[in-house]
Structure 1
């Protein structure tokens, strides 16, 4: 009973607990890293798992004060994430698996996605929604690599594109009732767009494909995703998707800049953007005055 009460943080000490949680997480990860050769995998797993369990217990037992958790609860949940990932990886090592294999990455990320989806539902945490969605996307990529062992990056591009579509549909569904969670899904969709560019560029470097770019089709995907994120940020006044959208557009420019010609992207975008700006600046007919424009102001009197 005493232990249960100790693991129930007091809200007015939440910031102090969150600060200590970050330091604890960094220390536990450092122990896990430094003791790779000195300790057995099971011992390392026990250390980081214990630290993760304490932080998750504190976050779960924190008082519920509204539909969204307070900042210190979110910090506890985020700090526990790398600890949980490290604990699962060490468990795989202890069971004879390879920490860097696609199969291990798949089940580690899958377990994280499932666990943080439960936390997102139970605590109403948007950051848990983001971590769960990102883990699920990573698990899907790892599963594909584990089962099919593809040689190129094309399959991963399509998987990431499918993830973007699903995340976008999920955000549309959650936008009215759970706006913070919708924004989290949009953020992950934007990160998937950046991943498409990164995977494509990496494939060009590894395969020695020269500087021909990633292809017009995938450049269109990057452009649409980047513009969509910026538009979402502007409409809902959410800065996160805007910054991620800007990074996706930078990725698009980096890919489309490989050709030393004004055809076709530069000319098309300059003309289209200029036309939209001109449409916004076109002269308009002044609106007629309001019906009561000449009416005297309403009388006022002091309240007593």
Structure 2
């Protein structure tokens, strides 16, 4: 089977509709496990063949191929889950953490392999996210202490460092991969903050089998979270990328939620955050001794500033119309 480039979007649209049908069958649960496993297998094979048997564009995956690769990775993880269930190793109730780790790890391996083979960016993010889920689940299952969140936090810190290094190594040569990993990094920071906020959600800790931990995050964790939140939001704004920008803003909000646990007045983090903010605003508003040529042209007679997309504002100079004084 070979998918021609001019029919790739149509093929992908049909595959997405079929994926919706398979998900609906899973949610209903009326069909036998074997039938549902067969549907997932057929969907995964269809998406995989479409992604692998279609031509690349200058060595990179086309948008429809990106979606097919992501569906293949997710379908592979779902297929492993069905195979384990048919073999008698179901998820259990509550869901076994080792089972989650195994299913997520299989999807991560498939996703990362597809990203390497076809140069996909979305599937790279999917594979990295599934790898994080696998590591977190395995750590929670293997942790011997009273509260598995302690081990999960340290593992997530290690994941943050690995992702930062991977982003730095790819930002120049493989920019799309770096952006995808930045999305995953922001999600990891949100997850790290959630380990401190889960007790604030009624019944969440009990549903996850976690002991109550009323104490908040230590100063070191607070510094890490707020720094990571601001850094991710700034990265998204600097790169003009919506994914890291919005996810970074969410990570910043989650970090501020951790800082606010326990209440208090303006003394503390509000004051600590206000001081550098006021300094930066003051630096930006200080008098300027010499204006740049661009600013002088932009503020000249008849100049209007026309924003265009994500580019810097462009000054457009025009001569006054002969009849302007008659208006």
TM-score by length of 2: 0.80
Q: What is the rounded CA distance, in whole Å, between the counterparts of 1:83 and 1:128 in structure 2?
A: 12
Aligned to 2:271: 267
1:106–1:142 contact (8 Å) kept in structure 2: yes
2:44–2:72 contact (8 Å) kept in structure 1: yes
Matches within 5 A, 1:194-273: 194-203=190-199, 206=205, 207-210=211-214, 213-258=216-261, 259-273=263-277
TM-score by length of 1: 0.85
Aligned to 1:182: 178
Matched, 1:171 2:167: yes
How far is 1:9 from its partner?
Answer: 1.2
How far is 1:256 from its partner?
Answer: 2.1
RMSD of aligned alpha carbons: 2.0
Per-residue displacement from partner, 1:165-197 (whole Å, max 9, x unpaired)?
100100000111000001111110100000011
Aligned to 1:62: 54
- Check 1:177–1:272 CA distance in 2 against 1; reply closer, same or farther (3 A cut): same
Q: What is the rounded CA distance, in whole Å, between the counterparts of 1:214 and 1:288 in structure 2?
A: 47
Q: What is the rounded CA distance, in whole Å, between the counterparts of 1:198 and 1:158 in structure 2?
A: 14
Q: What is the rounded CA distance, in whole Å, between the counterparts of 2:259 and 2:152 in structure 1?
A: 20
Matches within 5 A, 1:1-304: 7-35=1-29, 38-39=31-32, 41-99=33-91, 100-148=95-143, 150-152=145-147, 153-203=149-199, 206=205, 207-210=211-214, 213-258=216-261, 259-286=263-290
Q: What is the rounded CA distance, in whole Å, between the counterparts of 1:149 and 1:57 in structure 2?
A: 43
- What SS is found at the alignment partner of 2:197? helix
Q: What is the rounded CA distance, in whole Å, between the counterparts of 1:118 and 1:288 in structure 2?
A: 50
Q: How many residues align?
A: 280
Structure 2 stretches lacking a partner, 5+ long = 206-210, 294-327
- Check 1:288–1:84 CA distance in 2 against 1; reply closer, same or farther (3 A cut): closer
Q: Relative CO higher for 1 or 2, CA cutoff 8 Å, sep ≥ 6?
A: 1
How far is 1:213 from its partner?
Answer: 3.6
Q: What is the rounded CA distance, in whole Å, between the counterparts of 2:75 and 2:124 in structure 1?
A: 18
Q: What is the rounded CA distance, in whole Å, between the counterparts of 1:219 and 1:26 in structure 2?
A: 41
- Check 1:32–1:134 CA distance in 2 against 1; reply closer, same or farther (3 A cut): same
How far is 1:55 from its partner?
Answer: 0.7
- What SS is found at the alignment partner of 2:198? helix
Per-residue displacement from partner, 1:212-234 (whole Å, max 9, x unpaired)?
54333222222111111122123
Q: What is the rounded CA distance, in whole Å, between the counterparts of 2:141 and 2:27 in structure 1?
A: 26
How far is 1:26 from its partner?
Answer: 1.2
